[in-house]
Amino acid sequence: MEPRAQLNPTTSQRHCWECMRRRLVCDFERPTCNKCRSAGVDCPGYDEKKPLRWLAPGKVTSRAQKRRSPSATDGTVRSDEAVDKKDAPQTRVGSELLRMPIPRRELKSDTCTMVEAVWYFNDYVYTDFRAMHELAPNPYLGQFPLDALHQMPMSICHTLVCLALGHRIHRVYSGDHRRVVARLRPSLYQHRGLALRSLTELLGNLSSQTSIDLTIGSIMLFLFVDARQLPSADWQHHFAAAIELIKLRGGLASLARSSEYLKPLILHLLILGVMANTTTPPPRHIPTTSQLELIDVMTDLYGDGIYPVLLCPPYLLMDVIKINNLRFQTTCSPISDTTRATAHEILEHIEAFSPEDWTGTHPDARDDWLLLGRMYRSSIALYCISSLQSLSIIPSSRYYTAMRTLHGTRLYNLLPKVTRRPRIKHFAIWPLVVAGMQAVDASPNIRHIIDGQLSELSKIMGCPTPTLAGAVFHRFWTSGQTGWDDCFDKAYVFVA
């Protein structure tokens, strides 16, 4: 992708009048923009006032302004109503971006531009996670800078639109009309297709280290949005493509050390791979994220465990990697006494974790930290026992049955408290998935509560992933099977 021309600070936000009319992101070329040149039209330029356009005789048309419906008294501008231009505030971006409904909650397909997607992300997606800063300052959590949009490759721009549309489709607000919101879905798939096409173009031009890094970042962002919004295993193919490109740059550890820009995306990639392997059969694991060598990289990148998609104590996350490694080893070597001894050591290490020692630095957030620590200790202990019992690494003895029951009861009691707290409710999805698997031995009331919590989490996160988990459990609870790999019989990712 060719670098864009350097812009004068005083005009960097002014699109040409033709691009504004066509609702395109102008490339700001002077004296005429490339978008107009490609379309074969005369670029009207970037002046303060729109230039006059002379029409041939008989071509002048006029259209009377539609009246507002008397019923529109709630302050909402309907899609079939004209907006009075003299009342619209003036901006340097383009008046078409102002034709948004009030209250500003509906991202309509006919006005879903890339600029609106950034606005929506900053005002709604980011807002859902902003309270995390009250737990501890999060260097990975922030708004998307609008002034950087024109520098992004088109694949990232279309991916941001997909993220905004997907969030709007699944995020439920009071007064929503679901059928109206669902009409946005075709636009989501259209932008997804455009993002894939742009990624293909990037892959065809890996001529420099910069272009490789740009392509890696674009693929990873697309992967994260795809895994968040689509109930399919396509994300594994995107993951494999990103890993192959990372190998061209010297591997995970080398790239993480040399690229500050890609470091948060690499961390997100590894978290997604590690947590996805927990709910994926061992033969279908992503090998990169089931190897013990990954622990050193994750220890360096994950730091104190402050990350927007996972707020798990680092002490316990390393145990998850070790459990994944044991499960993956069964695909290529028989289970031995050493394997079983390692499993017991991991479980003892999990049991030794003290949530009281992981409480952050903000005194008023201590209760939230304690809830998170206790929730992850019980859910990871359950994952260790259940997943390794499914492979006969840990026996199904009375002792381990009692331990599962104990941690299951604790988790059932903790989850309602976590999902009621704004600062930490988004981190309940994977522990809820563990609780859902454990509920195969629980009462119908417990199952009903877990199902309701998953449904509610899907609505507030703007993401279908919890709903997918609920569908998996409905099938599993009535199947007569009880094993971890019976429940998660194909590749699932429950991190959003």
pLDDT beyond 80 at 356: yes
In whole angstroms, give the CA distance from residue 372 to residue 324: 22
Strand partners, 307: 310
pLDDT tens per residue, range 320-334: 999 999 999 999 999
Residue 9: count other Cβ atoms within 10 Å of its Cβ. Answer: 6
Q: Which residue has the higher pLDDT, 151 or 199?
A: 199
Query: What domains can be seen in the chain, in order of their start residue?
Result: 13-45 (4.10.240), 110-250 (no CATH), 275-495 (no CATH)
pLDDT beyond 70 at 7: no
Average pLDDT (470-478) is 95
pLDDT beyond 60 at 118: yes
Q: Phi/psi at 310 (nearest 5 deg)?
A: -155, 125
pLDDT (0 to 100) of residue 349? 97
In whole angstroms, give the CA distance from residue 439 to residue 473: 9
pLDDT (0 to 100) of residue 210? 86
Count of CA atoms in the C-beta half-sphere (13 A) of 254 = 9
pLDDT beyond 70 at 112: no
Average pLDDT (408-425) is 93
In whole angstroms, give the CA distance from residue 261 to residue 7: 22
Least confident among 51-60, 275-284, 426-435, 468-477: 51-60
Q: Which residue has the higher pLDDT, 423 or 345?
A: 345
pLDDT (0 to 100) of residue 361? 62
Question: Of 285, 323, 317, which is closest to residue 302 (Cα–Cα)?
Answer: 317
Contact, 376 vs 275, CB < 8 A? no
pLDDT (0 to 100) of residue 107? 46
In whole angstroms, give the CA distance from residue 329 to residue 268: 24
- Who contacts 309 (Cβ-Cβ below 8 Å, separation ≥6)? 268, 271, 272, 495, 496
pLDDT beyond 90 at 399: yes
Contact, 457 vs 431, CB < 8 A? no
pLDDT (0 to 100) of residue 102? 33
In whole angstroms, give the CA distance from residue 382 to residue 384: 5
In whole angstroms, give the CA distance from residue 219 to residue 240: 10
Contact, 285 vs 493, CB < 8 A? no
Token code pair at residue 491: 């590749």
Least confident among 139-153, 319-333, 377-391: 139-153
Average pLDDT (420-430) is 91
Q: Which residue has the higher pLDDT, 369 or 23?
A: 369
pLDDT beyond 70 at 62: no
pLDDT band for position 53 (cuts 50, 70, 90)? low
pLDDT (0 to 100) of residue 468? 92
pLDDT band for position 19 (cuts 50, 70, 90)? confident
Contact, 224 vs 167, CB < 8 A? no
Amino acid identity at 268? H
